[in-house]
Structure 1
Amino acid sequence: MAPDTPSAAPADGAAPAEPVVHPATPARTLLRLTLPAILVGVMTSLLFLAVEGLAENLENVLWETLPDALGIGRYSSLWMISMLTATGIAVGLVVWKVYGHAGPDPATTGLGGPPLSPGVIPGLLIASTLALAGGVSLGPEFPIIAANIGLAHWLGRRAAPGAPAALWVSLASAGTIGALFGTPVAAALVISEALTHSPGEASLWDRLFAPLAAAGAGAMTTTLLAHPTFDMDLPVLTHPGWGDLLAAMTVATLAALVGLLGCYAFPSIHTGFQRLRHPMLMLPLGGLLLGLLGALGGPLTLFKGLEQVKELTSDIGAWSAGDLAKMTAVKLVALLVAAACGFRGGRIFPAVFVGAAFGLFAHAVVPEVDPSIGVAAGVLGVLLATTRQGWVSLFTAAVLAASPAMLALLCLASLPAWLVVTGRPQLELDASGHALH
């Protein structure tokens, strides 16, 4: 019998692999990052709250004060079509005439990206605010993150020229995501997906330290000033069983397929609008189509979708399976049209509505599917397909469910859904108009 040998030695006699060591970052280095991180986090939240507040006030004028003064129904088909078309004209003028054309084509942008020139940011924020107030099916996240990255990079490079540019990008991204979700956890999860472990690099938590501080500052600023909540008042699932696991996996997988339908259609819709070649043709036409979709799907299918999800889940059972299927399809098409024709906005919150409506549809068709499982798994599947951000998809679904017992179900439900979406087209295009994979 051969003598005992170290188990780490490979059979071919080669030297055993050295363990990868990630050097610790000195505490004083991390402490020096704390103040700029907190300042950036607070700044990102304040800009987000300012845009949100302005958009909400303008929304009240456009959808309540103005139609009341004109004696027109607030959400009549005529008003929805007119308002969305007018919003397309207004945003088209901004994209056409304002310096920087409101930033790059939104169909080719995701969370983050290279810093924008400061001169481009006002046009981007104006276009985004108009879209939010006008009822366009897009959220604030992409433009706000892009604006905050541009501002933080511009100010940071002047305040600390020796600091790497990537620092300001990561702080602004983390701070904005923390502000958007009201918690730094989402930002930590997003950034951890982007970080790689290579020999000689700092450990994961050393690299997360400053972004987490920025995210915490952004989240606390938003929480203290605006008191946001993702609570949907869904029934709490306390003791899930095998049937619940099967339901979660099935709904998440089917929802991922629904999201993929949009991903496959997105390049063709974008190409169709690009053939018009001018923002004053693309955006008014897009606005008109969104108005028609709103008239078809009802007022819940307008706007970014988060408040509409709360209304959708506030009276489970009030909507028929046909109503929910229609809202799912209309909101998905509205998201594709809004993102393809050039409106500036994010795709996460509208995708949440699509997933929630699909989950409630599953509950309406099969009442044995718990509505909490339907909503959470539906959101998980659609977000996995449209964002390809695993942690954010799982985190958002878990927050909506607000039930610790759901975590295990959602983790397992994400596995077949991920197998469906991985390697498939994303809801984002490259510069040539082809879908990213």
Structure 2
Amino acid sequence: MTAGDDLSGATPTPRQLLALSVPALLVGALTAVVLWLLDVVSESLGDLIWKAVPGSLGFDPDASWWILLVLTSTGVAVGLVTWLVPGHAGPDSATTDLLEPPLRPWVVPGLALAAVIGLAGGVSLGPENPIIAINATLVAFLFARLLPKVPVQLAVWLAAAGTIGALFGTPVAAALVFTSAMAGTPVRGHLWDRLFLPLAAAGAGSITMHLLGAPSFGFEVPAYPGPAALDLLTGSLIAVGTTVVGLAALAVFPWVHRAFHALRHPLLIPVAGGLVLGLLGVLGGPLTLFKGLEETGELLENSDEYAAGQLVVLALVKLVALVVAASSGFRGGRIFPAVFVGAALGLLGHALIPAAPLALAVACGVLGMVLVVGRDGWVALFVAVAVAGDVTLLAVLCVIILPAWLLVSRAPEFRIVEPEPFPSAAPGR
């Protein structure tokens, strides 16, 4: 049986896995290169907006009027893309998850453009949803022509796995995502037979991203001194408290989405969102802008400089910005800004409960917020440990996550399940 044999409806054999391992590795490398290109273009445009222009004109890029102008202009630019560019930049990111069917190929340029503009302009969304959708569409398109007997779902899973491996710098994150994704589907044979090809793609994606010089997903946090009985109590309080804050944001998310979409026109929705994000940026400062990954590192590196009141402002402003950005037509994911919110709330927990070690407090804050946004316990545990940078925390976090999970287990997903109509979009959407 060759790599082109139909794999649908059956557990892949070792021969099939071996035959498809090379395409899986190539897919992983391809997805990493596409992610790297998206990052390079968005960072170059961001440097132009936030460094080159203010530097050449001699004003402070952190000035309130510039933050407000840039975010509002970003809303205008994204609105023009979602209104006029063929494909309208794909579906509203508020309605999508990480694993979605591939888009029509002509949708990809508009989606990539909208994602780049949002990332460069400082919108509080990450690249994960758009870049996975872009890569899934590209890989499905290539497989349909080169390996037509390979199921579309497998092509999408390989693309998603490679992208997740590249995003987090390790295939472990992809393995956890796909383990959860497969939990609700009947699996014949060994689970690892199903995970084999996605893991190959994820490994290739993470290695390629490292070779391209991308920074690792890790931060400078004081080492965790080791498990203690009191840590279970203090950590649970911080994780549960953060989860409750996240659930409050989840409760208002549909209302905020409905309010922005009451404007109906695809240009007005992100313009209004950009204006609100600009005002939030003025309130919270530059640290609350952008996807939040680099800002999380800066926050943790200078954690001693922030009082409890400042941490409250940073966390709440960023959380509101996340909800507004996700509700107003911008294209992006919700995991990366949630990490910043969780880290800020973890630092706040450490300030209020000094008995909680700093690494534990940060990990628990990230755990609670990512749990609400991602609705995946494995991913929440992985991201929490990765941010704190200490695997010693894992044993304690596996217990601390239990009461937090009880709070989210029956809560809705952090997305708009039933997308609202878009009557003003151009025909043929």
Q: TM-score range by the shorter chain?
A: over 0.9
Question: 1:264, 1:274 → 2: CA distance?
Answer: 17
Among residues 72, 93, 99, which one is paired with 1:85 in the alignment? 72
Determine whether 1:291 maps to 2:278.
yes
1:202 is displaced (CA, Å) by 3.0
Counterpart residue type for residue 350 of structure 2: H
Give the TM-score normalised by the residue count of structure 1.
0.92
Among residues 169, 172, 176, which one is paired with 1:185 in the alignment? 172
1:111 is displaced (CA, Å) by 0.4
Are 1:135 and 1:302, in contact at CA under 8 Å, matched by a contact in 2? yes
Question: 2:130, 2:146 → 1: CA distance?
Answer: 24
* Distance 1:199-1:405 versus aligned 2 partners, 3 A rule: closer
Are 2:234 and 2:353, in contact at CA under 8 Å, matched by a contact in 1? no
Are 1:270 and 1:433, in contact at CA under 8 Å, matched by a contact in 2? no
Question: 1:373, 1:198 → 2: CA distance?
Answer: 34
Deviation string, structure 1 residues 326-357 (Cα, Å, up to 9, x no partner): 01100000000000000001100000000000
Are 1:34 and 1:213, in contact at CA under 8 Å, matched by a contact in 2? yes
If you compute each CA radius of gyration, which structure gives the higher value, 1 or 2? 1
- Which residue is 1:9 aligned to? none
Determine whether 1:243 maps to 2:230.
yes
What's the secondary structure of 2:88's corresponding residue? helix
Deviation string, structure 1 residues 77-132 (Cα, Å, up to 9, x no partner): 11100000000001100001100000001110010211101100010000000000
Determine whether 1:319 maps to 2:306.
yes
Determine whether 1:65 maps to 2:45.
no
Are 1:387 and 1:427, in contact at CA under 8 Å, matched by a contact in 2? yes
Q: CA RMSD in A?
A: 1.5
- Which residue is 1:19 aligned to? none
Are 2:169 and 2:217, in contact at CA under 8 Å, matched by a contact in 1? no
What's the secondary structure of 1:50's corresponding residue? helix
Determine whether 1:109 maps to 2:130.
no
- Which residue is 1:216 aligned to? 203
- Which residue is 1:331 aligned to? 318
Determine whether 1:126 maps to 2:113.
yes
Counterpart residue type for residue 217 of structure 2: F
Are 2:293 and 2:340, in contact at CA under 8 Å, matched by a contact in 1? yes
Q: Which runs of 5+ in 1 are unaligned?
A: 1-22
Among residues 15, 27, 34, which one is paired with 2:14 in the alignment? 27
Determine whether 1:170 maps to 2:123.
no
Question: 1:324, 1:198 → 2: CA distance?
Answer: 42
Among residues 348, 354, 359, which one is paired with 1:372 in the alignment? 359
1:24 is displaced (CA, Å) by 7.1
- Which residue is 1:395 aligned to? 382
Among residues 132, 139, 145, which one is paired with 1:158 in the alignment? 145
Equivalenced residue count is 412
- Which residue is 1:202 aligned to? 189
1:198 is displaced (CA, Å) by 7.1
- Which residue is 1:18 aligned to? none
Are 1:197 and 1:203, in contact at CA under 8 Å, matched by a contact in 2? no
Are 1:95 and 1:123, in contact at CA under 8 Å, matched by a contact in 2? yes
1:284 is displaced (CA, Å) by 1.0
- Which residue is 2:370 aligned to? 383
Determine whether 1:413 maps to 2:400.
yes
Are 1:116 and 1:146, in contact at CA under 8 Å, matched by a contact in 2? yes
What's the secondary structure of 1:317's corresponding residue? helix
Give the TM-score normalised by the residue count of structure 2.
0.94
Counterpart residue type for residue 385 of structure 2: A
Are 1:141 and 1:180, in contact at CA under 8 Å, matched by a contact in 2? yes
Counterpart residue type for residue 298 of structure 2: E
Determine whether 1:265 maps to 2:252.
yes
- Which residue is 2:344 aligned to? 357
What's the secondary structure of 1:100's corresponding residue? coil
Question: 1:63, 1:142 → 2: CA distance?
Answer: 24
Q: Which runs of 5+ in 2 are unaligned?
A: 1-9, 422-429
1:432 is displaced (CA, Å) by 4.2
1:371 is displaced (CA, Å) by 1.4
Counterpart residue type for residue 148 of structure 2: P
What's the secondary structure of 1:116's corresponding residue? coil
- Which residue is 2:5 aligned to? none
1:247 is displaced (CA, Å) by 1.4
Determine whether 1:76 maps to 2:76.
no
What's the secondary structure of 1:180's corresponding residue? helix
